[in-house]
Amino acid sequence: MSKFSSKTIFGTCEVCGKKIKKDVYGQGKCPFCGWRNCYLNAEHPDNVLHPNLISLNKAKKLYLEGKAFDPNLDEFLEALHSYGEMQFKYNNICYAVELMGTELNNNLIQLYNANTKEIFVFKNDADFKTNAKIEGKLLKEIWDETTDRYWLQ
Ligand SMILES: [Zn+2]
Protein backbone atom coordinates (compact mmCIF):
# COMPACT_ATOMS: atom_id res chain seq x y z
CA MET A 1 0.00 0.00 0.00
CA SER A 2 1.47 3.29 -1.10
CA LYS A 3 1.60 6.09 1.38
CA PHE A 4 0.06 8.28 -1.37
CA SER A 5 -2.98 6.02 -1.79
CA SER A 6 -5.41 8.29 -0.01
CA LYS A 7 -5.89 12.00 -0.34
CA THR A 8 -8.88 12.09 1.96
CA ILE A 9 -8.26 13.58 5.31
CA PHE A 10 -10.60 14.17 8.18
CA GLY A 11 -11.47 17.54 9.53
CA THR A 12 -14.15 19.36 11.42
CA CYS A 13 -17.13 20.98 9.75
CA GLU A 14 -16.86 24.73 10.28
CA VAL A 15 -20.59 25.02 10.91
CA CYS A 16 -21.80 21.98 12.88
CA GLY A 17 -18.45 20.84 14.27
CA LYS A 18 -18.90 17.22 13.22
CA LYS A 19 -16.04 15.14 11.86
CA ILE A 20 -16.16 15.03 8.05
CA LYS A 21 -14.00 14.09 5.06
CA LYS A 22 -12.08 16.94 3.49
CA ASP A 23 -9.61 17.11 0.64
CA VAL A 24 -6.07 18.40 0.93
CA TYR A 25 -7.36 21.97 0.55
CA GLY A 26 -9.74 21.60 3.47
CA GLN A 27 -12.73 21.47 1.16
CA GLY A 28 -15.65 19.13 1.52
CA LYS A 29 -19.41 19.20 1.72
CA CYS A 30 -20.69 18.29 5.17
CA PRO A 31 -23.11 15.34 4.99
CA PHE A 32 -24.70 16.41 8.28
CA CYS A 33 -25.56 20.09 7.83
CA GLY A 34 -24.87 20.64 4.09
CA TRP A 35 -22.25 23.36 4.52
CA ARG A 36 -19.60 23.40 1.80
CA ASN A 37 -16.41 23.76 3.78
CA CYS A 38 -13.75 25.90 2.14
CA TYR A 39 -10.83 27.83 3.56
CA LEU A 40 -11.98 31.03 1.78
CA ASN A 41 -15.21 31.05 3.74
CA ALA A 42 -13.33 30.34 6.96
CA GLU A 43 -10.98 33.28 6.31
CA HIS A 44 -13.84 35.66 5.47
CA PRO A 45 -16.71 34.49 7.69
CA ASP A 46 -18.96 37.49 6.99
CA ASN A 47 -18.77 37.36 3.20
CA VAL A 48 -20.70 35.32 0.66
CA LEU A 49 -18.05 33.32 -1.17
CA HIS A 50 -17.76 30.31 -3.44
CA PRO A 51 -19.00 27.61 -3.06
CA ASN A 52 -21.69 28.85 -0.65
CA LEU A 53 -24.56 31.31 -1.02
CA ILE A 54 -24.52 32.64 2.52
CA SER A 55 -21.67 33.64 4.82
CA LEU A 56 -20.12 31.22 7.29
CA ASN A 57 -21.34 33.24 10.28
CA LYS A 58 -24.89 33.31 8.91
CA ALA A 59 -24.73 29.54 8.36
CA LYS A 60 -23.63 29.01 11.98
CA LYS A 61 -26.53 31.14 13.19
CA LEU A 62 -29.07 29.33 10.98
CA TYR A 63 -27.68 25.94 12.04
CA LEU A 64 -28.21 26.81 15.72
CA GLU A 65 -31.76 27.91 14.88
CA GLY A 66 -32.38 24.67 12.95
CA LYS A 67 -33.02 26.56 9.71
CA ALA A 68 -31.96 25.82 6.12
CA PHE A 69 -29.01 27.65 4.56
CA ASP A 70 -31.19 29.68 2.19
CA PRO A 71 -29.87 33.02 0.93
CA ASN A 72 -32.07 36.09 1.32
CA LEU A 73 -32.31 38.51 -1.59
CA ASP A 74 -29.34 40.57 -0.33
CA GLU A 75 -27.14 37.46 -0.09
CA PHE A 76 -28.34 36.30 -3.50
CA LEU A 77 -27.15 39.63 -4.94
CA GLU A 78 -23.85 39.41 -3.06
CA ALA A 79 -23.39 35.95 -4.54
CA LEU A 80 -24.29 37.34 -7.99
CA HIS A 81 -21.39 39.77 -7.72
CA SER A 82 -19.12 36.88 -6.82
CA TYR A 83 -20.34 34.41 -9.46
CA GLY A 84 -21.56 36.69 -12.27
CA GLU A 85 -24.51 34.47 -13.10
CA MET A 86 -27.19 33.07 -10.79
CA GLN A 87 -30.44 31.21 -11.14
CA PHE A 88 -33.59 30.52 -9.18
CA LYS A 89 -36.95 28.88 -9.80
CA TYR A 90 -40.47 30.06 -9.16
CA ASN A 91 -43.52 27.95 -9.99
CA ASN A 92 -41.12 25.54 -11.74
CA ILE A 93 -39.92 28.21 -14.16
CA CYS A 94 -36.22 28.87 -14.22
CA TYR A 95 -34.91 32.43 -14.09
CA ALA A 96 -31.36 33.48 -14.82
CA VAL A 97 -29.86 36.60 -13.25
CA GLU A 98 -26.69 37.94 -14.80
CA LEU A 99 -24.36 40.84 -14.33
CA MET A 100 -23.87 42.58 -17.65
CA GLY A 101 -21.27 45.26 -17.19
CA THR A 102 -20.61 47.99 -19.70
CA GLU A 103 -18.00 50.71 -19.64
CA LEU A 104 -20.57 53.25 -18.52
CA ASN A 105 -22.35 51.08 -15.99
CA ASN A 106 -20.85 47.89 -14.65
CA ASN A 107 -23.73 47.25 -12.26
CA LEU A 108 -26.44 46.39 -14.80
CA ILE A 109 -28.40 43.28 -13.87
CA GLN A 110 -30.34 41.20 -16.37
CA LEU A 111 -33.28 38.99 -15.41
CA TYR A 112 -34.13 36.29 -17.94
CA ASN A 113 -37.29 34.19 -17.92
CA ALA A 114 -36.36 30.80 -19.44
CA ASN A 115 -40.00 30.08 -20.22
CA THR A 116 -41.09 33.25 -22.04
CA LYS A 117 -37.52 34.28 -23.03
CA GLU A 118 -38.33 37.76 -21.72
CA ILE A 119 -35.39 39.85 -20.56
CA PHE A 120 -35.57 42.69 -18.05
CA VAL A 121 -32.62 44.94 -17.28
CA PHE A 122 -32.05 46.79 -14.01
CA LYS A 123 -29.71 49.68 -13.35
CA ASN A 124 -28.12 48.27 -10.21
CA ASP A 125 -28.74 46.12 -7.11
CA ALA A 126 -31.18 48.61 -5.59
CA ASP A 127 -33.20 48.83 -8.81
CA PHE A 128 -33.31 45.03 -9.02
CA LYS A 129 -34.31 44.63 -5.38
CA THR A 130 -37.03 47.26 -5.60
CA ASN A 131 -38.48 46.64 -9.05
CA ALA A 132 -37.81 43.07 -10.24
CA LYS A 133 -41.11 41.30 -10.87
CA ILE A 134 -42.04 37.68 -11.51
CA GLU A 135 -45.50 36.88 -12.82
CA GLY A 136 -46.62 40.40 -11.90
CA LYS A 137 -45.43 40.06 -8.29
CA LEU A 138 -42.48 41.88 -6.76
CA LEU A 139 -39.58 39.47 -6.40
CA LYS A 140 -38.74 40.81 -2.94
CA GLU A 141 -42.23 39.83 -1.76
CA ILE A 142 -42.17 36.29 -3.14
CA TRP A 143 -38.48 35.55 -2.54
CA ASP A 144 -39.22 32.99 0.19
CA GLU A 145 -41.28 30.99 -2.32
CA THR A 146 -38.45 30.75 -4.86
CA THR A 147 -36.34 27.58 -4.95
CA ASP A 148 -33.13 26.23 -6.47
CA ARG A 149 -31.18 29.44 -5.91
CA TYR A 150 -27.73 28.63 -7.15
CA TRP A 151 -25.04 29.82 -9.45
CA LEU A 152 -25.93 29.16 -13.09
CA GLN A 153 -25.39 25.48 -13.88
ZN1 LIG B 1 -21.61 20.42 9.09
Q: Are residues 89 and 54 in the same domain?
A: no
Q: Are residues 79 and 146 in the same domain?
A: yes
Residue 5 has a pLDDT of 44
DSSP 6-67: ---EEEE-TTT--EEEE-TTS-EE-TTT--EE-HHHHHSTTS--TT-SS-HHHHHHHHHTT-
pLDDT digits (tens, 9 = 90+) for 42-92: 999 999 988 899 999 999 999 999 999 999 999 999 999 888 999 999 999
Q: Are residues 84 and 133 in the same domain?
A: yes
Q: Are residues 32 and 87 in the same domain?
A: no
Residue 111 lies in domain: 73-151
What's the gap in Å between 76 CA and the centre of ligand 1? 21
pLDDT digits (tens, 9 = 90+) for 101-147: 777 777 899 999 999 999 999 999 999 999 999 999 999 999 999 99
pLDDT digits (tens, 9 = 90+) for 26-42: 899 999 999 999 999 99
What's the gap in Å between 3 CA and the centre of ligand 1? 28
What's the gap in Å between 86 CA and the centre of ligand 1? 24
Q: Are residues 40 and 77 in the same domain?
A: no
What's the gap in Å between 34 CA and the centre of ligand 1? 6
Q: Are residues 140 and 87 in the same domain?
A: yes
Q: Are residues 79 and 139 in the same domain?
A: yes
pLDDT bin (cut points 50, 70, 90) of residue 2 is very low
Please state, in angstroms and rounded to a whole number, the distance separating the CA atoms of residues 73 and 83: 15
Residue 1 has a pLDDT of 44
Residue 61: how many other CB atoms lie within 10 Å: 13
Look up residue 38 and give its amino acid: C
Q: Are residues 50 and 90 in the same domain?
A: no
What's the gap in Å between 29 CA and the centre of ligand 1? 8
Residue 153 has a pLDDT of 67
What's the gap in Å between 71 CA and the centre of ligand 1? 17
What's the gap in Å between 102 CA and the centre of ligand 1? 40
What's the gap in Å between 18 CA and the centre of ligand 1? 6
Q: Are residues 43 and 83 in the same domain?
A: no
Residue 6 has a pLDDT of 57
Q: Are residues 79 and 124 in the same domain?
A: yes
What's the gap in Å between 54 CA and the centre of ligand 1? 14
What's the gap in Å between 67 CA and the centre of ligand 1? 13
Higher pLDDT, 96 or 107: 96
Residue 3 has pLDDT above 60, yes or no: no
Task: State how many domains the chain has.
Answer: 2
pTM for the whole structure? 0.84
